[in-house]
Amino acid sequence: MSKELKKYTVTILGESFSLVTDELEEHVLQAAQKADSLLKEIKGQAPAADARKVAILGVLQLASEYLNLQAKTASQGRIHEELIELIEQEIPSEAVQ
């Protein structure tokens, strides 16, 4: 069963954008708020930058955050696997059955 597409309007840096997505409204609004806050912060640090440069810097920052989260998730997955191996080594196989 596919989700229903819904249309939302969000405001980022004072400009309205219409989106069509199957995401929940709360998710869309949180994403828009995160984007707006990030771009305002970048614009505040580089007031002479045009909107295109601000957007590119924002995308780069979000991509970096995403890659960091991916690496952290992969690292945690490896740690979980190692812990499971250690536990399995300590528990006799007959005890598990």
Q: Is the pTM of this model over 0.85?
A: no
Q: CA nearest 3: which of 19, 17, 24?
A: 24
Predicted pLDDT at 83 = 87
Q: CA nearest 22: which of 2, 39, 36, 40?
A: 2
Contact 49, 60 (CB under 8 A): no
Q: Token pair for residue 9?
A: 């309007």
Q: Mapping DSSP to helix (H, G, I), strand (E, B) and coil, where does residue 50 land?
A: coil
Residues of the chain with pLDDT under 50: none
